[in-house]
Structure 1
Amino acid sequence: MKSLFDETAKNEIENRIHKLSNASIPVWGKMDISQMFYHCQFPLKIALKKEYPPMKPSILAKLFFKKAMYNDKPWKKNLPTHPKLKVVDSKVFEEEKQRLLELVTEFSDKRTVSEWDPHPMFGKFTKDQWGKMQYKHLDHHLQQFSV
Structure 2
Amino acid sequence: MKSIFDEFTYNEVVERFSQLSPESEGSWGKMSVGQMLWHCQIFVKAAIKNKKYEKRGNPIIRWFFKKSMYSDKPWRKNLPTTPFAKAKEEKEFEVEHKKLLELINELYSLRDRTDWNAHPIFGDFTPEQWGKLEYKHLDHHLRQFGV
Q: Is TM (by shorter chain) over 0.5?
A: yes
Amino acid at match of 1:137: H
How far apart are 1:88 and its partner, in Å? 2.1
Q: Which ranges of 4 or more aligned residues in structure 1 deviate by more than 6 Å?
A: 50-55
- The answer (yes or no) to whether the contact 1:57–1:120 under 8 Å persists in 2 is no
Tell me, in whole angstroms, the C-alpha distance in 1 between the residues paired with 2:91 and 2:50.
19
Distance 1:110 1:91, change over 3 A: same
Tell me, in whole angstroms, the C-alpha distance in 1 between the residues paired with 2:104 and 2:95.
14
TM-score (norm 1): 0.94
Name which of structure 1's ranges 131-140 and 57-66 shifts more when overlaid on structure 2. 57-66
Q: Aligned-pair RMSD on alpha carbons?
A: 1.7
Alignment of 1:1-147 (within 5 A): 1-49=1-49, 56-147=56-147
Tell me the alpha carbon deviations over residues 94-121 of structure 1, each in whole angstroms, 9 at most, x when there is no partner.
1100000001010011111012011111
How far apart are 1:53 and its partner, in Å? 8.2
TM-score (norm 2): 0.94
Amino acid at match of 1:48: I
Aligned length: 147
Tell me, in whole angstroms, the C-alpha distance in 2 between the residues paired with 1:115 and 1:58.
25
Tell me, in whole angstroms, the C-alpha distance in 2 between the residues paired with 1:77 and 1:34.
18
Amino acid at match of 2:145: F
Q: Structure 1 vs Structure 2: percent identity of aligned residues?
A: 50
- The answer (yes or no) to whether the contact 1:34–1:93 under 8 Å persists in 2 is yes
5+ residue gaps, structure 2, are none
Task: Give the secondary-structure state (helix, strand or coil) at the position aligned to 1:77.
Answer: coil
